[in-house]
Amino acid sequence: MADLFPPRIDMETPSIARMYDYLLGGKDNFESDRKACEELAAGIPELVSFANDNRAFLGRAVEYVCSRGVDQFLDLGAGLPTTDNTHQVAQRADPGARVLYVDHDPIVLAHGRALLGENGTTAFLLADIRDPGPILSSPEAIDLLDFDRPVCVMLVSLLHCLPDDSDPFGMVRSLMKRLAPGSAVIYSHIVSDDHEAAAWMTEKILGFGTPWGRVRSPEEASQAFEGLELVSPWLNDRDEGPRTVDCSTWRHEDRPPVFRPEAPSVKRWELAGVAFKP
């Protein structure tokens, strides 16, 4: 499957990767993806800022993890390449940083390989992100990453794409057990404390025929950090308030960290945090 080119593409069913690309202003999307985003935006006016805030969080979080001395990244559910991808942010901070992107979508693999060319410190792997064993034992992972040293796992806007029967949080625990102490997690997940708002978004996306999971409560989404040590979301490392926050406020120079958007009209947000394995 990894060697198929061009990949077999379903142009009629919206793809989460292509929808995200459209929301970020990219060009690697189809009419079905654009229509799906427009339908979602009718009920979620802040949808575009949602995507862009999440992308900005990724950049700040990768810079922070690099500052803590971690120089290896395993980016699960990487999605289509866009601006300030993980390897670009990491390698600006540390030119020797290594990044393995993993996704199950062949079109993501094709675009990623075309973007990277002969980059010897970055690679793409086509694999089932729900099963970490084959990922960690793959030739790409063995050649690129040293699992005797800390690795940062990127779980940015990923787990809400996985249904409960895929045991997304069990996958995280299984993966982190295999990694060295000092390894990190960069994580964000669409959440809501309003049951109707959560159900509306979940049912709308599933109604497109798009494989997806669901909007979870903040408490459910926070399971990803079990057994890990969350870092302060404040730029100055203040030890107060919530450790999981709205991603748009995590270590942002102009916004204090808040657990959820302050406007009560905003019923969905992206819960985010960074944590390390003790």
Write out pLDDT tens, residues 193-223: 999 999 999 999 999 999 999 999 999 999 9
Cβ(160)–Cβ(154) under 8 Å?
no
**pLDDT > 90? residue 41:** yes
| Whether the predicted pLDDT of 237 surpasses 50 | yes
What is the model's pLDDT at position 241?
Answer: 81
Tell me how crowded residue 32 is: count the other CB atoms within 10 A of its CB: 19
The DSSP secondary structure of 151-218, one letter per residue, reads -EEEEET-GGGS-GGG-HHHHHHHHHHTSPTT-EEEEEEEE-S-HHHHHHHHHHHHHTT------B-H
Pair 77, 161: CB distance under 8 Å: yes
Query: Do the beta carbons of residue 255 and residue 247 sit within 8 Å?
Result: no
pTM (two decimals): 0.93
Q: How many H-runs (helices) and E-runs (strands) does the chain carry?
A: 10, 8
> Residue 93: how many CB atoms within 10 A of its CB?
14
For residue 6, cis peptide bond before it (omega within 30 degrees of 0): yes
Given this model, what pLDDT does residue 118 score? Answer: 61
| pLDDT exceeds cutoff 90 at 230 | yes
